Structure 1
Amino acid sequence: MSTQFYADAATYDRLFPGSEQAVAFYRAEARRQGGRVLELGCGTGSKLIPIASDGRPCTGLDLSADMLAAAARKADARGVQVRWVQGDMRGFDLGRTFDLVVIAANSLLHLLTAEDLVGCLRSVRRHLAPGGRLVLDVFNPSVRALALADGVRRRRDALSFVDPDRGLVHVDVADTYDAATQVTRGTWYFSTESEADVVVAPLEIRCVFPQELPLLLTLAGLRLVERFGDWSRAPLTADAPLQLCVCAAD
């Protein structure tokens, strides 16, 4: 788990401002399911707070206390009630079931081993109400992109953001891909115009390939109901950016 990378909630929100399409998709899924919603790896609540604003009873679980504190402030500012829980998605017991469980924005991929992935999915299975659904999104791995992870530090211009105190922040990333474990291990460097490497943070993230994901779900007592390749619900193809999955109890 790359806890250091997520220690600063404000920087995270500037680095990953979120997708309006993703929020709209998950709000639509919550409307379709009805009832209670749980998000694992909820971060600062960018998806869960809009769902809660629609009147859904919502719970957000995250490992980072800083992320949860930021989420609580954002929810309070919008006048929205959400139950925030600090916990580990690899294994949890919230004492209730949910009609919709969400694992968004590659959060599942912070679990680096098959054992951790199945443990998380089994916990989800135990928390699903009858007729409940798990909806998750993970990136669709590109072998061409993984081959470029050669450990060389490179500027990621698309990730640059403005910090109100530091000004423009540039992001460099150096990463390598371990095919045996399917894990990309990287170091992220944040620099301003006047100071290099203000923050240096490691990040590890796993790949889950399209033929692997249904097997992991089966081991956890879940099954794939629908799978899309983008937020418009287009079919999953080789070049699709996402694996957007709707799952049910087996």
Structure 2
Amino acid sequence: MSNQFYSDARLYDRLFPGGEQAVEFYRAEADRQGGTVLELGSGTGHKLIPIASDGHPCVGLELSTDMLAEARRKADDRGVDVEWLQGDMREFDLGRTFDLVFIAANSLLHLHEADEVVGCFQSVRRHLAPGARLVLDVFNPSVRVLARADGVRRRRDALSFVDPDRGPVRVDVAETYDATAQVTRGTWFFSTESEADFFVAPLEIRSIFPQELPLLLSLGGLRVVERFGDWSRAPFAAEAALQLVICEPD
């Protein structure tokens, strides 16, 4: 788990402010399923708060206390009722079931070992009500991109943002890829013109390949019933940037 990377929740939200297509996708899934919703790795509530505002009873499970505090603040500001719980998606027992469980925005990829991923899916399986579904999204690994992870620090212009206190912030990333572990190990550097590297944090993200994901789900007692390559529900294809899967108990 990359806890340090998530220690400044407001900085995280400024780094990743978008994702509205993903929000609308998960809102639609919640409407389609009806009933109660559980998000694992709920972060600052970017997706769960809009779902709760639609009238669905929602629970967010998040490991980072900093992210949870920001989620609570945002939900309170909007007058939205969400139950926020501190916990680990690798194994959990909430003593109840849900009509929809979802794991968004590559959150599953913080689990580096296969048995951790399977343990997560087994926990999900135990929390699914009759007719319930698990929905998740992870990136589709590109061998070409992984091969370019050579440890050199490079500017990520697309990730630059403006902080209301610091002004323009630039982001540099240095990454290497551990092919044996299927983990990209990176260091992220945040700087302004007057303050170089004011925030530096490691981030390690696993890759899960398209043939591997259904097997891991099956070991957790789940099966894929739909798989898409983007938020418009286009069929999954080799060149897709996204693996978006909808699952049911096996």
- How would you bin the TM-score normalised by the shorter chain? over 0.9
What is the match of residue 107 of structure 1? 107
The code of the aligned residue for 1:9 comes to: A
Using the size of structure 2 for normalisation, the TM-score is 0.99
* Aligned equivalents of 1:5, 1:20: Cα separation in 2: 22
C-alpha deviation, 1:56, in angstroms: 0.2
Q: Which residue of 1 aligns with 2:191?
A: 191
What is the rounded CA distance, in whole Å, between the counterparts of 1:141 and 1:95 in structure 2? 35
Whether contact under 8 Å (1:159, 1:171) holds in the other structure is yes
Q: CA deviation at 1:194?
A: 1.2
Aligned partner of 2:161 in structure 1 is 161
Match of 2:98 in 1: 98
| Residue matched to 2:20 | 20
Q: CA RMSD in A?
A: 0.6
1:182 aligns with 2:182: yes
Query: In 2, Cα distance between the equivalents of 1:5 and 1:67?
Result: 11
Does the aligned pair in 2 maintain the 1:188–1:200 contact within 8 Å? yes
Where does structure 1 lack aligned partners over 5 or more consecutive residues? none
Tell me how far apart the structure 2 counterparts of residues 193 and 239 of structure 1 sit (CA, whole Å).
38
Matched with 2:124 is 124
Q: What SS does the aligned partner of 2:43 have? A: coil
CA distance in 1, matches of 2:224, 2:102: 14
Post-superposition offset of 1:161: 0.9
Q: Secondary structure at the match of 2:223?
A: strand
Match of residue 214 from structure 1: 214
Equivalent position amino acid for 2:219 in 1: L
For residues 2-41 of structure 1, what are the structure 2 equivalents within 5 Å?
2-41=2-41
Deviations 1:147-206 (A, max 9, x none): 100000000000011111111110000000011110000000001011211111000000
SS in 2 for 1:84: strand
SS at match of 1:69: helix
**Secondary structure of residue in 1 paired with 2:120:** helix
The question of whether the paired residues in 2 share the 8 Å contact of 1:18 and 1:46 is answered with no
| CA drift at 1:18 | 2.9
CA distance in 1, matches of 2:85, 2:7: 16
Paired position in structure 2 for 1:54: 54
Q: After the TM superposition, list the runs of 4 or more consecutive aligned residues in structure 1 that deviate by more than 6 angstroms.
A: none
Q: One-letter code of the match for 1:228?
A: F
Aligned equivalent of 1:249: 249
Identity of aligned residues (%): 79
1:78 aligns with 2:78: yes
Unaligned runs of 5+ in 2: none
The residue type equivalent to 1:82 in the other structure is: V
User: Aligned residue pairs: how many?
Assistant: 250
User: Secondary structure at 2:245's aligned position in 1?
Assistant: strand
**Displacement of 1:239:** 1.0
Q: Which amino acid is 1:129 matched to?
A: A
1: CA distance, partners of 2:102 / 2:78: 21
- For 1:249 and 1:154, the matched residues in 2 are separated by 43
